[in-house]
């Protein structure tokens, strides 16, 4: 039965520098013996003197460990992939040129050299055959633009700076907020209130003063994207919203530049490389954005602080491989990461011939209005319509005053139970927005009902729903519990 044995990096020098070897075998034991027949040097590394697999070598058939199958006698049907997974501590590997290198970076690298300090700084790179002097000079010649100095931009920027990417561009217009510190490790507590760009650039310069850091303190837009992108070799997308994501994708495809993509939500992340020649783009994967409000942002849905660290590092890794021209990138593959189950899965991505920006009959030859494309203005108009009629709103100070006057008011909190645990307005009743239709009988239409949530959006929807259900005495607390904390009771924690 023909099976493929994947050779791990540390063992390739004993296997004719191959990364995979085909053998014919009916069991795992036969496969290993057949491998050793071809490459005798492997024997001492794989087997003990008694012919047993060494304890630091694990063998997998497809994604299953043979220890949980029938060990060495695990039968093979043919076409399986056998992986040999040795435990490694550091370790070195044999050189193996693979993916096509970015030719312009390689050319530019020929003009450069490293100083004595740089040689010392990058010494752990210089002794890896896949990087070595040539690779380090490519890193020095490379110009990488990271979009956003937030959750993904933090690890990305820091590792790319440390690795010696010669020109590192950063685009950000935001200010460091206290709630950013849980994950945006490029910023310190003392940076709260400072522009993110300023804080990030200072940190990057601290990590590596040898590199050139270029800041763009602006909101990336259809007007400036092509102009900003044109001087960079690789664009790394660390944004957290759909309009910018489509903008980055389209600008990269139009300019023919790789787009290293990452996204995060709660415990899950995704990464890929778009915009490579003959490989799919973000629009091939998702031709259209989800309607606004359907996919909550990290601010609304939360994110595990470590997650952007993991996904951002994967993006940094892909970026470095693109520069070095080494290994296999995620082009054509979507990597899915589940931090709770600690599982990585992979989906094959295909180029969509109908893709409007990279397909065979392109309809998109220039950047468009991405806010419009993602339905943002339409959504804002709807939200305004829901919340502006002032007779349907009450502000926090007025509510407090009326409560102090002993007016009978039913305070309806439509947030989620875990938000209710963080803070609440005294004597409020919790019915999460999603449960409201099934629990509407708990409300009395004769009462004056004041609905609130975190900042007023969900409760506006709740008020709208109640009015449509025949409730006439319903008001929305303007600005939600955040406004209550600001204007009435500062002891109520904000989140
Ligand atoms: Zn496409």
- Say if residues 270 and 261 touch (Cβ distance below 8 Å): yes
Mean pLDDT of 470-474: 93
Rounded distance from Cα 328 to ligand 1 centre (Å): 20
Give the dihedral sign, CA 486/491/492/495.
positive
Give the model's pLDDT for residue 300. Answer: 73
Give the model's pLDDT for residue 175. Answer: 97
Cβ contacts of 406 within 8 Å, gap of 6 or more: none
Give the model's pLDDT for residue 12. Answer: 81
Give the model's pLDDT for residue 98. Answer: 33
Is the pLDDT confidence value at 180 over 90? yes
The span from the CA of 492 to the CA of 481, in Å, is 8
Mean pLDDT of 26-36: 94
Give the model's pLDDT for residue 31. Answer: 95
Supply 241's token pair: 């919203």
Chain segment 36-76, per-residue pLDDT in tens: 999 988 888 888 888 888 767 778 888 788 878 999 999 99
CA 200 → CA 157, 185, 203, 234, 259, distances in Å?
A: 8, 10, 5, 19, 21
Instruction: Give the strand order in the sheet containing 409-413.
Output: 393-394, 474-477, 448-452, 409-413, 428-430
Q: Which of 298, 355, 358, 423 is catalytic?
A: 298
Rounded distance from Cα 232 to ligand 1 centre (Å): 21
Give the model's pLDDT for residue 296. Answer: 66
Rounded distance from Cα 249 to ligand 1 centre (Å): 9
CATH 3.10.20.30 fits 2-86, yes or no: yes
Give the model's pLDDT for residue 34. Answer: 94
The span from the CA of 270 to the CA of 160, in Å, is 19
292 forms beta bridges with none
Rounded distance from Cα 350 to ligand 1 centre (Å): 9
Give the model's pLDDT for residue 44. Answer: 82
pTM listed for this prediction: 0.77
Give the model's pLDDT for residue 356. Answer: 93
24 forms beta bridges with 2
Chain segment 408-462, per-residue pLDDT in tens: 999 999 999 999 999 999 999 999 998 999 999 999 999 999 999 999 989 999 9
Is the pLDDT confidence value at 344 over 90? yes
Q: Is 186 helix (H, G, I), strand (E, B) or coil?
A: coil
Chain segment 307-320, per-residue pLDDT in tens: 999 999 999 999 99
Percent of the chain with pLDDT over 90: 70
Residue 453 appears among annotated catalytic residues: yes
Mean pLDDT of 327-337: 91
Spelled out in words, what is the top-level CATH class assigned to the domain 142-378?
A: alpha beta
Residue 374 appears among annotated catalytic residues: no
Rounded distance from Cα 207 to ligand 1 centre (Å): 36
Residue-range domain boundaries for the chain: 2-86, 142-378, 389-487
> Under CATH, which architecture does the 389-487 domain have?
3-Layer(aba) Sandwich (3.40)
Give the model's pLDDT for residue 294. Answer: 63
- Say if residues 253 and 281 touch (Cβ distance below 8 Å): yes
Rounded distance from Cα 357 to ligand 1 centre (Å): 6
99: pLDDT confidence band, cut at 50, 70 and 90?
A: very low
Q: Is 344 helix (H, G, I), strand (E, B) or coil?
A: strand
Q: Which of 252, 374, 453, 463 is catalytic?
A: 453
Chain segment 150-174, per-residue pLDDT in tens: 999 999 999 999 999 999 999 999 9
The span from the CA of 358 to the CA of 82, in Å, is 36
Is the pLDDT confidence value at 93 over 70? no
How far is C-alpha 437 from the geometric centre of its chain's CA atoms?
Answer: 35
Tokens 């940190």 correspond to 203
The span from the CA of 495 to the CA of 482, in Å, is 8
Give the model's pLDDT for residue 90. Answer: 37
Rounded distance from Cα 391 to ligand 1 centre (Å): 48
Supply 130's token pair: 């896949």
């Amino acid at each position: 039965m023909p099976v493929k044995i994947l050779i791990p990096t540390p063992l390739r020098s004993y296997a004719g520098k191959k990364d995979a070897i085909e053998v014919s075998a009916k069991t795992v034991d036969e496969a290993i013996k057949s491998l050793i027949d071809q490459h005798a040097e492997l024997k001492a590394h794989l087997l003990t003197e008694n012919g047993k697999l060494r304890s630091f070598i694990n063998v997998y058939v497809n994604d299953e460990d043979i220890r949980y199958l029938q060990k060495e006698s695990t039968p093979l049907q043919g076409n399986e992939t056998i992986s040999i997974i040795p435990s490694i501590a550091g370790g070195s590997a044999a050189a193996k040129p693979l993916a096509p290198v970015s030719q312009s970076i390689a050319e530019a690298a020929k003009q450069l050299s490293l100083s004595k300090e740089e040689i010392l700084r990058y010494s752990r790179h210089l002794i890896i055959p896949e990087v070595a002097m040539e690779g380090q000079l490519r890193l020095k010649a490379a110009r990488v633009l990271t979009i956003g100095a937030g959750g993904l931009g933090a690890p990305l920027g820091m590792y790319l700076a440390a690795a010696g990417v010669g020109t590192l561009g950063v685009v950000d217009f935001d200010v460091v907020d206290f709630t950013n510190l849980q994950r945006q490790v490029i910023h310190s507590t003392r940076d709260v209130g400072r522009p993110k760009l300023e804080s990030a650039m200072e940190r990057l310069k601290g990590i590596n003063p040898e590199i050139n850091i270029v800041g763009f303190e602006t909101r990336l837009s259809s007007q400036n994207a092509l102009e900003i992108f044109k001087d960079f070799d690789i664009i790394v997308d660390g944004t957290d919203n759909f309009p910018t994501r489509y903008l980055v994708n389209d600008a990269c495809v139009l300019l023919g530049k790789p787009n290293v993509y990452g996204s995060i939500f709660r415990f899950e992340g995704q990464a890929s490389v778009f915009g490579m020649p003959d490989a799919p783009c973000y629009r091939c994967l998702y031709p259209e954005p989800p309607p606004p409000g359907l996919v909550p942002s990290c601010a609304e849905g939360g994110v595990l602080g470590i997650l952007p660290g993991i996904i951002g590092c994967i993006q940094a890794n892909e970026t470095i491989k693109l520069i070095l021209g080494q290994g296999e990138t995620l082009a054509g593959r979507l990597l899915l990461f589940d931090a709770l189950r600690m599982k990585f899965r992979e989906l094959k991505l295909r180029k969509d011939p109908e893709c409007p920006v990279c397909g065979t009959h392109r309809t998109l030859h220039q950047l468009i209005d991405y806010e419009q494309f993602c339905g943002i203005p339409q959504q804002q108009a709807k939200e305004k319509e829901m919340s502006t009629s002032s007779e349907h709103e009450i502000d926090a100070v007025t509510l407090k005053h009326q409560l102090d006057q002993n007016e009978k008011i039913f305070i309806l909190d439509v947030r989620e139970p875990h938000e209710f645990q963080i803070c609440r307005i005294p004597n409020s009743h919790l019915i999460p927005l999603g449960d409201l239709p099934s629990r509407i009988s708990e409300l009395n239409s004769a009462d004056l009902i004041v609905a609130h949530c975190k900042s007023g959006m969900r409760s506006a929807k709740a008020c709208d729903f109640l009015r449509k259900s025949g409730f006439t005495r319903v008001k929305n607390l303007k600005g939600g519990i955040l406004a209550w904390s600001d204007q009435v009771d500062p002891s109520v924690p904000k989140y």
